[in-house]
Amino acid sequence: MHPNDPALRSFIDVDPTSDFPIQNLPYGVFSIADTSPRVGVAIGDFVLDLAAIEAEGLLDLGSNKGIFAQPSINAFMALGPKVWSSTRARISALLRHDNPALRDNDALRARAVLPRKELALHLPLAVAGFADFYSSKEHATNVGIMFRGKDNALQPNWLHMPIGYNGRASTVVVSGTKVPRPRGQLKPPTAEVPSFGPCKRLDFELELGVVIGQASPMGGMLTEAQAEESIFGFTLLNDWSARDIQQWEYVPLGPFLGKSFATSISPWIVTREALEPFRVHGPAQEPAPLPYLQQRGANNYDLHLEVNLLGAGTSRPVRISTTNSKLMYWSSVQQLVHQASNGCAIDVGDLLGSGTISGPEKHQRGSLLEISWNGSEPVEMPDGSKRSFLEDGDALTMRGWCQGDGYRVGFGEVEGTITPAV
């Protein structure tokens, strides 16, 4: 049976609402007690220790011994799509309800099938480089209306290429990492000169992270098919944003300190193959892109996304956004094709941010800048307080999943709590 078959069942009980059925098997990095971080896959409420399985001889990666006894998935990704697919198929077979190899080996199960709640989860990849895009037409239009007016909402280049900027790999952190409020130069419209201090308009951005698993050389280009094959998988991504720092600094070179202080990702990378049943075509692109950006495939995903905000000192979160990544105008494949089109070398472990994922309805907006309409329509909190932007002690959690027939392929969550500037 194919690893995506809806009829597959594991000997490990998995709730139908779990993000991690046997049809998913996302990769992550974990540790327990005093052990070194290593690679595993999530299955229900457990994690399968791939280093232990490989050491037992149940996974054969040829001469690539110890590939999972490492603190990132980069070495595994470098082996390429054929190995990704065959390894996922083998892991799926080992976890099937009718396969005794692992199911009936009590000693191995005790070592290799570990309760997820007892584990520490780490950044799953060594991030080689980070680029963030601006690929939701609704998000770009909303921001443009706020700052330039309805008649000039989209810049002239926006409909012709995926707009992006190069960010900082050094501040990509795993879910659960505290996010200190950034400091920077601030100059509100009423001030004559800038000042330096903590950000006052701290925001989130609901994004999908694209994890690159294959390198391409400097000077080359990528076709649609090559770009697709280079993508190992996807993760949830929150590109935290200091809107007041960004507003003062971005002319003429774009985002810099307003974006580089923290980017949070979920601890699990869902493989491109696991998402194959949920591929859909994105919105029609008018005018047609230049030939190098034209795509034939259905390169978007029917991925439900939601954001919950737990205010400081409160006990009940508020859902502030519900949207879907299928709405994105520029696909992840087009983003990668465009990034490589000038001859930029692509590395194993590169991370692309989709850009804020917003939709046409108010509840589908993927940032507080849009949700509060730049502070003019604050979010009502359970305790009667309001939020236009994030306050110290606020915790933001993003979740996402694709709904299958009796199962869901989910991403877990990416959470971050704001702490005061230091």
Q: Which residue of the set 139, 160, 281, 338 is catalytic?
A: 139
Cα–Cα distance, 52 to 122 (Å, whole number):
18
Considering only CA atoms, which of 111, 121, 100, 106 is closest in space to residue 53? 111
End-to-end Cα spacing for the chain: 54
d(CA 171, CA 161): 27
For 87, the token pair is: 């390894």
139 is catalytic: yes
How many residues comprise the chain?
Answer: 422
Three-state SS across the chain?
CCCCCCCCCECCCCCCCCCCCCCCCCEEEEECCCCCCEEEEEECCEEEEHHHHHHCCCCCCCCCCCCCCCCCCHHHHCCCHHHHHHHHHHHHHHHECCCHHHHCCHHHHHHHEEEHHHCEEECCCCCCCEEEECCCHHHHHHHHHHHHCHHHCCCCCCCCCCCEEECCHHHEEECCCCEECCEEEECCCCCCCCEEEECCCEECCEEEEEEECCCECCCCCCCHHHHHHHEEEEEEEEECEEHHHHHHHCCCCCCCCCCCCCEEECCCEEECCCCHHHEECCCCCCCCCCHHHCCCCCCEECCEEEEEEECCCCCCCEEEEEEEHHHCCCCHHHHHHHHHCCCCCECCCCEEECCCCCCCCHHHCCCHHHHCCCCCCCEECCCCCEECCECCCCEEEEEEEEECCCCEEEEEEEEEEEECCC
**Alpha-carbon distance 301 to 326, whole Å?**
5
Q: Are 73 and 39 in contact (CB under 8 A)?
A: yes
Contact 230, 214 (CB under 8 A): yes
By annotation, the residues acting in catalysis are 139
